[in-house]
Every structure is written in structure tokens, then in C-alpha cells.
Amino acid sequence: MNRPLIVAIVGIVVVAAALVLNFTLQNPGGLSSLTGSASRQVNTGPGAPTFDVVRIDPKGNMVMAGRAKPGAVVVILDGDKEIGRVTADSRGEWVFLPDAPVAPGTRQFSLKTPGTGGAKDLFSQNIVVMSVPERNGEILIVEQSRDGGKSRVLQGPNAPGSGTLTVEAVDYAADGKFTLSGKADPGSVVQVYLDNAFIGRATADDKGAWQVEPKSKAAAGKHSIRVDQVGTNNNVIARVEVPFVLDPAQANMPPGAITVVKGNSLWRLARNTYGEGTMYTLIFEANKEQIKDADLIYPGQVFNLPPKNRP
């Protein structure tokens, strides 16, 4: 009964193995060459930084996240070249968002925490091999231990959480109370953060929909919303971040307003609000002064959502 699914999973594992093998053949130093020297062993002891999430959207924008010692500096390496560094927060979590899209090609990422007080640098036990096609094609991201052990597909066909986790709407009132909703794998648990402060969790229903109504309120101005989809061991298997602007001008708007977040479209807003994407014209007509093109709406815009059965 489940043969097609099994074949699909086996297929992606074979492709992942081929990707890592191709990298190894092109780099005689093997996986250890990522440290800048194929001949020396690197320190991957306790407290070394780790990967949780590495994902790329169709436009090449990458998000990379993981864990390290609280307050530790995490250096992101592309081969032996540093491409950025971040500091882990008080929970030991870190997020890296490159300024520029990732170019097509195959590359290898690793992590390093610089040693202090004479201590050795700490390197990640695992590395991430990434293949980005020149044109339309499947992006493949595979995590593997430096000794060539078990691989984990982070992005690709059938990867856990692949392309599923989203923030689709932020509905808020003038007093700062707000509600968030989106999509995740059905039955999965999502944890929501506002400006890196935990504000709530939810379980996605059988259709993958989730909603969180935080008790806390948001002050007027710019914010960042982060949503993590977590596994059975509370490990992060998918993560999205979106900007959120609470506009005080909404106090002059009638009830039923919504702020646009990254990834929204009029079709998606209409489907979530009215149950039918084809009713996007209702939102368009009610907000024509803001929307010049029905295909172009922007994060931070605040739209009025009129009643479905208005005269």
C-alpha cells in the first residue's frame, strides 16, 4: 500500500548520498577539508555549535539556525571562508540570515566557535552540503557528520517540514493585542516568538493550520516574528521569520484589519478570511488606495477585511 512513498524516500536518500560522494570526489581532503586543512583534526568537543535548520527559498534567500553555548560567538564557514558570525542568545539559540541570495552551485557549510583564554576553537561535529541548481530544479541540502556517518536531508523532496511551515496572517487590534496563524505539518507543534521572546505554542490541526493568541501585547513599531516547528525531542526541524509592523494608525480603522507579512498574497488572505481565494477582489476593492497591483502587496501594509456578505 505504501510502496510509492517508500520508493520516494529511498530515492532522495540515494540522491543525498550522491551529492555527498560528488563533493568528496571533488575535494581529496574529504569532509575535513572544510576546516581549512585536510591534514589536521578539528576540535568538536562538548559545547560545539550545531545546525538545526538550513533552508533556501526559491529566490535563493537562506536562513540558517542552530544551537551553541549561551552567549557564544558562532562563525559560519563556507568551505574555509567566513561568511558571517552571530551570537547565541540566552537559550543558546542562534539565527543567521545572509544579506545576499545564495548563488547556484555546490558548497559546504560548517560552524566554529572561536576559543578564548587559550582554549581551542570548537568546530561543529556535522557539516552541511548544499546543491542549488542553475535554473528550475530541486534544491538539496544534506547534513552529515565529518566522519561520513549518517546523513540527514534538511531540504529536498520528502524532507521533514519541507516548505510546509508558514506565517500566513497577523491580525491585531489598536491596543496591541494580536493573533498569529499559519501552516505546518499536520499534528506538529509550533513555538512562536516575538522579538526572540517566547509568546506561545500551538498544535497544527489535521489540515496543518495553527493559531496562537498571545496574552502579551505588542508595542507600536517594527517587530520580528519567529516560528519554530519542533520535533518529539524539542529539536527544531523547521523555522520561519517574518517582519511585523504594528501601525498605530489602525486605531482609526474599523474592526477586522490585518497586517501583511512576508509570503502573503491577496488570494491567500481571502482564502484564510472567507474560505475562498477567489474573493480576493473584496479585499482589493476595500483597500484600493494602498494596492496599485493585485499581485503586489508588501509586508507591513495594513488592510481592512470587510464582511463577506456586505451589501
Which domains does the chain show, CATH number per domain? Answer: 3-151 (2.60.40.10), 166-304 (2.60.40.10)
The bridge status of strand 257-259 relative to strand 302-304 is: antiparallel
Q: How far is CA 18 from the centre of its chain?
A: 25
pLDDT at 203: 93
pLDDT band at 290 (very low <50, low <70, confident <90, very high): confident
Please say whether the beta carbons of 144 and 126 come within 8 A: yes
Among 27-36, 38-47, 171-180, 187-196, the least confident range: 27-36
When the pLDDT of each residue in the chain is averaged and rounded to a whole number, the result is 75
Task: Read off the amino acid at residue 310.
Answer: R
Alpha-carbon distance of 74 to 96, in angstroms, equals: 9
In what helix (H) or strand (E) does residue 274 lie, and over which residues does it extend? helix 266-274
| pLDDT of 7 over the 50 cut | no
The bridge status of strand 62-67 relative to strand 50-56 is: antiparallel
Residue 267 is placed in which grid cell? 488570494
First to last CA, the chain: 51
pLDDT band at 31 (very low <50, low <70, confident <90, very high): very low
Residue 84 bridge partners (DSSP): 76
pLDDT at 149: 57
Alpha-carbon distance of 123 to 13, in angstroms, equals: 26
Phi, psi for 225 (deg, rounded to 5) = -110, 130
Please say whether the beta carbons of 44 and 124 come within 8 A: yes
| pLDDT of 310 over the 70 cut | no
Alpha-carbon distance of 54 to 14, in angstroms, equals: 20
Where are the alpha helices (H) located in 107-256, listed in sequence order?
A: none
pLDDT in tens, 189-240: 999 998 889 999 999 888 788 888 888 887 777 788 889 998 877 788 888 8
Alpha-carbon distance of 127 to 51, in angstroms, equals: 8
Considering only residues 201 and 244, tell me which one the structure prediction assigns the higher pLDDT.
201
pLDDT in tens, 119-146: 889 999 999 988 888 776 678 888 888 7
pLDDT band at 109 (very low <50, low <70, confident <90, very high): very high
Residue with cell 502587496: 297
Using only C-alpha atoms, what is the Rg of the chain?
22
